[in-house]
Amino acid sequence: MNIEQKHIAQHNDSLISAHNRKLAYLKEDFPQHDLERAIQKLVDFQIAIPSWALGTGGTRFGRFSIIGGEPRNIEEKIEDVGLLHQLNASSGAISLHIPWDIPQDVAKIKEVAGRFGLAFDAVNSNTFQDQRDAAHSYKFGSLQHVDKAVRQQAIAHNIEVIKQGDKLGSKALTVWLADGSCFPGQLNFRRAFENTLQSLEEIYVQLPPDWKMFVEYKAFEPNFYSTTIGDWGQSLLLASKLGNQAYTLVDLGHHLPNANIEQIVSLLLMEGKLGGFHFNDSKYGDDDLTTGSIKPYQLFLIFNELVEGMDAREMNHAKDLGWMIDASHNVKDPLEDLLQSVEAIMLAYAQALMVDRPALNSAQQRNDVVRAQEILQHTFRTDFRPLVAEARLRANAALSPLALYRDLDYRNQLIRKRGKNTTSTGL
Ligand SMILES: [Mn+2]
């Protein structure tokens, strides 16, 4: 479903004077050149929406399908991302999960995506659950498995995902493994790592030359004693051994509590080995909560290092890393949650762009700890939401995407079209 441009125009007209007033405050305090530069970067910045985040998720205890109107197939998932992109002009890509979303009619899928101006971001393989009719089980791992036949099945699946993604125009494969062990003694760590590396090598050689492989790590869960790619060191080790098309992917929820993610980001960028990012938020572990809902200051500090580190390597913020939301929605309307997530990411990015970097650098060189903290917190506490809204306005999107989504009663429109009891494939 499409939003008529006149609805966006009417919505923006109703908010424009308040918006201009808020923007004027920023213009008084910051150089016009800096603001314009940030606005343009915000216009360019796009965050991919994962196909599995468009329906109601669940936990290991249950799933409450309370929303209705969930997308019934891949075309409707693309339509939902298209809707988000019309509202915020910052969700210009979709990330598919195979085999939850195997495109049957590639030409048609590409046509639907093209209609909304969407690109296909990284494709994701799935060896963390058994597929119907599969010859082998992943109960004791996939690429790490002690049985070569199981490893071969997982390798073949990943190669199939590359082929599917290539047809759509994706340029990256994300590999996340549930592999690990639940009990001491269950696994020989070294053999598990070596098996994983060998399996990844067989997948890596099948990458088209302009593709990247993202090696995602996770500290724990579903295995609770060891995870074979458990932290950024293990991921970096694999990516380094694989070659220059392999990179580490950082998922915010995949760390042990209190991990300094911004430092991890900084060093991976320094090594040219940070490839992609999965956004979410958490209080305890891999909670998959709305980005920025729990620790917005941490999100800002991460973006501060991203901007600093990417600028140091003269990287293109919008194009040189894969940016994606990876979350699951148990109690919210998934589309509203995604609008909130994108807003939080854009705001943290805007804040990072507006850090007085020469002043911060100078404070660091003088060991002026107080000044360094003041610079960061001054930026964090300045309201840059009007800057993000201005970027949307210039991209013909809504000043307040969530408000317009609610005003148009979009969820009920989707329920009328798709029905109340639809279930989205995936989580
Ligand atoms: Mn992830």
**Sequence spans of domains, the chain:** 5-418
**DSSP letters of 90-119?**
---EEE-BTTTT--S-HHHHHHHHHHTTPE
**Separation of 51 CA from ligand 1 center, angstroms?**
13
Give me 125's structure tokens. 């393989």
Amino acid at 418: R
Number of H helices, E strands in the chain: 15, 11
Residue 201 CB-density burial (10 A; 0-12 exposed, 13-18 middle, 19+ buried): middle
- The residue type at 162: I
Report in angstroms the alpha-carbon separations of 57 from 47, 124, 290, 411.
20, 18, 13, 17
Q: What is the pLDDT of residue 55?
A: 87
Provide the CATH number for the domain formed by 5-418 in this structure.
Answer: 3.20.20.150
- Walk along the chain (427 residues) in steps of 10 and give the mean pLDDT of each run: 91 98 97 98 98 84 81 94 98 93 91 96 96 95 98 98 96 98 98 98 98 98 97 98 98 97 98 97 94 98 98 98 93 95 98 98 98 98 98 98 97 93 67
Compute, in angstroms, the gap from residue 418 CA to the centroid of ligand 1: 29
- Within its chain, how far is the Cα of 312 from the centroid? 23
pLDDT at 426: 58
Residue 180 has φ and ψ, to the nearest 5°, of 165, -150
Amino acid of residue 344: A
Q: If you measure from the C-alpha of residue 128 to the centroid of ligand 1, how many angstroms do you get, rounded to a whole number?
A: 13
Q: Annotate 257-288 with b (16+ C-beta within 10 A) or e (fewer).
A: eeeebbebbbebbeeebbbbbbbbbbeeebeb
CB atoms within 10 A of CB 350: 26
- The four Cα atoms 227, 201, 125, 174 give a dihedral, to 10 degrees, of 80
Report which DSSP code applies to 210: T
| SS3 label, residue 397 | coil
Single out the residue of 235, 240, 296, 244 nearest to residue 265, CA to CA: 235
pLDDT score at 339: 98
Ligand 1 centre to CA of 405 (Å) is: 27
Please, what sign has the CA dihedral across residues 241, 246, 247, 252?
negative
What local confidence, expressed as pLDDT, does residue 306 receive? Answer: 98
77-to-53, 82, 93, 232, 426 alpha-carbon distances in Å? 9, 9, 12, 31, 11
8-state DSSP, 228: T
C-alpha 64 to ligand 1 mean position (Å): 22
Residue 49 CA, ligand 1 centroid: distance in Å: 12
Which of these, 350, 325, 363, 409, lies nearest to 41 by C-alpha position? 350
Cα 393 to Cα 389: distance, rounded to the nearest angstrom? 6
Contact (Cβ atoms closer than 8 angstroms) between residue 159 and residue 123: no
Distance from Cα 289 to the centre of ligand 1, integer Å? 12
Cα-to-centroid distance, 278 and ligand 1 (Å): 5
Question: Which pLDDT does position 100 carry in this prediction?
Answer: 85
Tokens 């209190």 belong to which residue? 258
Please tell me the pTM assigned to this model.
0.97
Span from the CA of 280 to the centroid of ligand 1 (angstroms): 9
Q: Which residues surround ligand 1, an ion (CB under 5 A)?
A: 251, 278, 326
User: Are 417 and 1 within 8 A, CB to CB?
Assistant: yes
Identity of the amino acid at 80: D
Distance 34 CA to ligand 1 centre (A): 33
Backbone angles phi, psi at 44, to 5 degrees: -75, -25
CB burial readout 67-87, b (16+ within 10 A) else e: bbbbbeebbbbbbbbbbbbbb
- Short-list 117, 56, 121, 2, CA closest to 335: 56
Note the pLDDT of residue 399.
98
Euclidean distance between CA atoms 380 and 369, whole angstroms: 17
Rounded Cα gap, residues 350 and 384, in angstroms: 7
Q: Where are the alpha helices (DSSP H) in 224-356?
A: 232-242, 261-270, 296-312, 334-353
